[in-house]
Amino acid sequence: MALTHNLILDFGVTVLSIYNGVLLLWLGLTVILNAQRRTWGLWIAGIGLLSGSIFFMLHSMVVGIYPDIFSMDRGYWWQIGWVLVIMLPFAWYVDILWYTGFTEKKVIKNEYLSKAKRIHRNGVRALLGMVIIMGAVVFLTTPMSQIRDIKTLNILYFLSYGGTHAFMWMYALFIIICMALSIYALRTPVPSGRLMGDEARSRALPYLFGATISLFVVSVVIIFVFLWVESEIRYPGFWGVRINTIAYFDIILNLLILISVFLIGQAVCSYEVYTGETLPRRGLMRYWNRIIILGAGFSGVAALSLILRIRTVYIVLFFSVLIISFFAILTWRLFIERETFMRQLRPFVTSQRLYQQAIQGHLIDDQSINHQATDDEALTSIFDHLCQSILLSKRAILSGSNHMLPIHNFYITYPDMDDAGDEIVSQLNSHAMNVTNDTLILPISIEEEPEIHWFVPLWGEIGRIGTLYLGKKIDNSLYTLEEIEIARSACERLLDTKASIQMTKHLMDLQRERLVQSQLLDQRSRRMLHDEVLPDMHALMIDLNSPKAKDIEPVEIIKSLEKIHKQLSELLHAIPESFSPEISRFTLIDAIKKLPELKEADCFSEINWKIASDANEVSENLPIQIREILYFAIREVIRNAASHGSTVEKSHTHRIDIGISASNNLQISIKDFGCGVDVDHYISRITMGGGKGLLIHQTMMAIIGGNMLIESVPGQFTKVEFQLPIEKMENAVVDQ
């Protein structure tokens, strides 16, 4: 190549041109292929980046292939290059407008933003007109055979003033307006309606702003070069004397554009500015760093091969070695990252020793809170590992849902806040937001806890089971999509584990109580049969077989038989029935209606029933085992409402609403407008060994595949909702 006959200058121009082309090609393909939603703005961004890559490929071809850059016939390549030079600044401006929200069809109430939108609308129209004019000039002008023929643009010569063509003045004005309006749009963006849009935009805007400033400087340099060439080209021998200066200008422009490319790549890979993702993905940033290294090596080798005119076979062999070596290093790094990832996830997939945690309270005589602390040690260590090694969080709090008794008032803090955690978690839960299960993460601002910035809802099959509150990362960067998904899955598993342990312990307590009752009943039955029934029967048999049997009155015999019958009857009555008599004779809804508490006028002043038409059919087809569990749980709730739900003021109406529906789930809702329940106080009673009725029934509901949710506001109402999937009920009928 003979651009300047200076090896260093030729290498600098070529390597920077190829490097820019490689990076822009990767960014363009990445934006298009990794987009969540391919909107028109994203297509403009992707095609604009690819067009920039094509331009630099053409630039590399022009300066690196032909031995004499000033004598080769460029033909239509020159026109294509000029079209790209004209379109790229306009595409950047339109894409900035799309990203900052000025292209959205929505009413902007802010007067300042509304004025800015009008300015941008007029700016787009004016710039589009300039693009059409300059594009027409480029296509209508005969292709220049040599770059020295810049004076042959005769179609515009009559528009020139002072030796400077109007075309150059128009392009100078055009590119200045594009960059100035882009800066104006970045300084006053429209609030985003997308989840986490404003947060991601606030972090990405400095990079886009820096890229725009760099492109603005490029525009100024281009204008200066145009003016300088126009003023110097009239002198003989200009190209031979000034070619080194032009090469320096080329290197400066390439470096400025490279800075812009680095900033755009940082915004694309770190904050997903074009892909539409809620959070950035960690993998994109890693691959961006790798393409920077690979592109640098590739560009350097390609530039040297073009400058030194190395034979093709050596170039092919060298690039083969380079690509294979890079692929080997990439494979090695992928294996290391995989091993690191598995090592970080190992605590989440190892055994949680549920069996040991479930029985340890029964193997140790002391039934104290220390057992509860022992149960939580494993969960706390996993949560600490999650926050310290994976999320790199400064502060994090995991809180269970208030609607689920097994994990109500359960929380884990990082770092440990000791006794101050109760008050902080209570304040955080009071600010919890109602969201849908497709919500991944939301920003949250709480005056009482300024270190908490993110709200991550946790979900299970039964609905929302808890919340993860996160503070900023140690390096103040955004959490990546992979990190939040891992944190969400891990915390959901921790809450499920905690609930499973609690319900298992309650089931074991219930089983132990029933085992003791069964043993006592068995001993009582044996004692009664051995000490009372059998001796009386034996004595009666002896009397009837004795010679004096004729003297025994029939009345005495009947009294003896009546006594034995009474003893056997009492024994039979002491044996618990397999099913409740109400459930054996009636459907679930009829059995609920016959509860004494719903018939007595002293319990509730008003009873409202809301039973869906399909609920009767579903309740009639329930297996008797499920009907019994539901019946006793509902009876316990209604009895508690009747006994403890009445308010002090007699004038207050103690109303109860009972709703039953069956669409996808059998849902039974009981809401009494009494004094409400302090759930925290109720949990403390359970911890002290009392008031386990509702907790046992919730555990029994879990056994049959259902759930019992409790919501209460002291002084207003208490709502208990039973949920049971119809599919599981149908499977239970088949199994039965």
3-state DSSP of 112-134: HHHHHHHHHHHHHHHHHHHHHHH
DSSP for 434-461 reads ---TT---EE---SS-TT--EEEEEEET
Helix (H) or strand (E) holding 13: helix 7-33
The crossing angle, in degrees rounded to 10, of helices 282-307 and 481-528 is: 150
3 state DSSP class of 411 = strand
Q: Measuring CA to CA, which residue among 482, 472, 473, 474 is closest to residue 341? A: 482
3 state DSSP class of 666 = strand
| Fold classified for 7-290 | Rhopdopsin 7-helix transmembrane proteins (1.20.1070)
End-to-end CA distance of the chain: 87
Structural tokens at position 183: 């800066």
In degrees, rounded to 5, the angle at the alpha carbon of residue 150 between the alpha carbons of residues 147 and 151 is 140
- Rounded Cα–Cα distance for residues 731 and 394 (Å): 47
Q: Measuring CA to CA, which residue among 501, 488, 510 is closest to residue 407? A: 501
Sheet with 655-662, strands from edge to edge, namely 606-611, 655-662, 665-672, 717-725, 707-713
Establish whether domains 363-509 and 582-735 are of one fold. Answer: no
Predicted pLDDT of residue 633: 86
Task: List residues bridging with 718 in a β-sheet.
Answer: 672, 712
How many CB atoms within 10 Å of residue 273? 24
Q: What is the mean pLDDT of each run of 10 residues along the chain (736 residues)?
A: 70 90 92 79 87 86 57 57 84 88 74 84 91 80 47 42 60 88 88 67 84 88 76 59 77 92 87 63 78 88 82 80 82 80 72 58 43 65 86 88 73 78 72 73 79 86 83 82 84 85 75 72 74 78 75 77 79 61 74 79 80 80 80 84 63 77 84 71 48 71 79 81 72 48
Q: Is the dihedral of CA 60, 64, 70, 73 positive or negative?
A: negative
Predicted pLDDT of residue 575: 63
* Helices and strands, counts by H and E, the chain: 24, 10
- Best CATH choice for the domain 582-735 from the list 3.20.20.450, 3.40.50.300, 3.40.190.10, 3.30.565.10: 3.30.565.10
Sheet with 454-460, strands from edge to edge, namely 411-414, 396-400, 463-470, 454-460, 442-443
Structural tokens at position 429: 């839960």
Predicted pLDDT of residue 237: 56
Residues 6+ apart with CB under 8 A from 219: 89, 172, 175, 176, 178, 179
Predicted pLDDT of residue 263: 92
Helix (H) or strand (E) holding 607: strand 606-611
Q: Measuring CA to CA, which residue among 364, 362, 360, 367 is closest to residue 689? A: 367
Query: What CATH architecture applies to the domain 363-509?
Result: 2-Layer Sandwich (3.30)
Residue 438 C-alpha from the chain's centroid: 8
- Domain boundaries defined on the chain: 7-290, 363-509, 510-579, 582-735
Predicted pLDDT of residue 359: 55
Burial label, 438 (beta-carbon count in 10 A; 0-12, 13-18, 19+): exposed
Q: Which residue type, as a one-letter code, is found at position 371?
A: H
Q: Is the dihedral of CA 540, 541, 542, 543 positive or negative?
A: positive
Predicted pLDDT of residue 564: 80
Residues 6+ apart with CB under 8 A from 99: 41, 189, 201, 208, 273, 274
- Rounded Cα–Cα distance for residues 94 and 142 (Å): 30
- Rounded Cα–Cα distance for residues 119 and 108 (Å): 14
